[in-house]
């Protein structure tokens, strides 16, 4: 009787674990030094900034990513127009394969995953959130499922002066790890 109970318990646990979805969070903000997360865009000095401060972006490795079910990518930045003119900012998150050495040149497989323009009046402050839902049969899904990819963000200014603070950058993935176990 004990063997039958143990066998049934094992089967129930195996069935439950086969449907378990695991959540993997990658805090991309931790890859960007604290002193580079905020600053001022100025038309005369610095009209654009990259996160991280490397044209190759940040290499991200996700073990078990071949079991990817879905996910999302999010970036949040706080902006304040400190200049004397209205300003427009263009925010962009780019993805590319591991081998790409410049995510912003449109070559080597990189592409704009998310883009948004923001208009700021004099003294106006805004918190801007960019979200990309990673779904099957999309370019982002296929790239992330490869297990090694590059990610980067760019902020461009058309205006006078704007202060920025990068407050959030993360990738959240849902993986069904039991799909990695081969069926006999």
At 82-108, the pLDDT tens digits run 999 999 999 999 999 999 999 999 999
Q: Model pTM?
A: 0.81
User: In tens digits, what is the pLDDT along the chain, a chain of 184 residues?
Assistant: 555 444 444 444 444 455 678 888 888 888 888 888 999 998 776 789 999 989 999 999 988 888 889 999 999 999 999 999 999 999 999 999 999 999 999 999 999 999 999 999 999 999 999 999 999 999 999 999 999 999 999 999 988 899 999 999 999 999 887 655 555 5
pLDDT on residue 178: 65
pLDDT on residue 182: 55
The residue ranges of every structural domain in the chain are: 21-180
The CATH code for residues 21-180 is 2.60.120
Q: Could you write out the DSSP letters of every residue in the chain?
A: -HHHHHHHHHHHHHHHHTT--EEEEEEGGGGS-GGGSEEEEETTS-SEEEESSSTT-EEEE-TTGGGEEEEEEEEEEEEEE-SSS-EEEEEEEEEEETT-S-TTSS-TT-EEEEEEEEEE-TT-EEEEEEEEEE-TTSHHHHHHHTSEEEEEEEEEEESSEEEEEEEEEEEEEEE-GGGGSPP-
């Amino acid at each position: 009787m004990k063997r039958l109970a143990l066998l049934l318990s094992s089967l129930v646990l195996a069935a439950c674990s086969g449907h378990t979805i695991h959540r993997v969070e990658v805090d991309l903000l931790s890859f960007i030094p604290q002193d580079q997360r905020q600053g001022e865009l100025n038309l005369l000095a610095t009209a654009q900034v990259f996160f991280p401060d490397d044209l190759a972006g940040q290499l991200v490795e996700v073990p078990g990513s071949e079991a990817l079910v879905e996910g999302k990518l999010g970036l949040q930045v706080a902006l304040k127009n400190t200049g004397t003119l209205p300003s427009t900012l263009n925010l962009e998150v780019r993805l590319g394969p591991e081998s790409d050495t410049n995510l912003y040149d449109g070559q080597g497989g990189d592409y704009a995953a998310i883009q948004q323009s923001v208009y700021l009046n004099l003294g106006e402050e805004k918190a801007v959130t960019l979200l990309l839902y990673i779904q099957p049969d999309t370019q982002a899904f296929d790239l992330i499922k490869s297990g090694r990819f590059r990610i980067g963000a760019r902020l461009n200014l058309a205006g006078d002066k704007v202060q920025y603070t990068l407050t959030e950058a993360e990738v959240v993935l849902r993986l069904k790890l039991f799909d990695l176990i081969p069926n006999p």
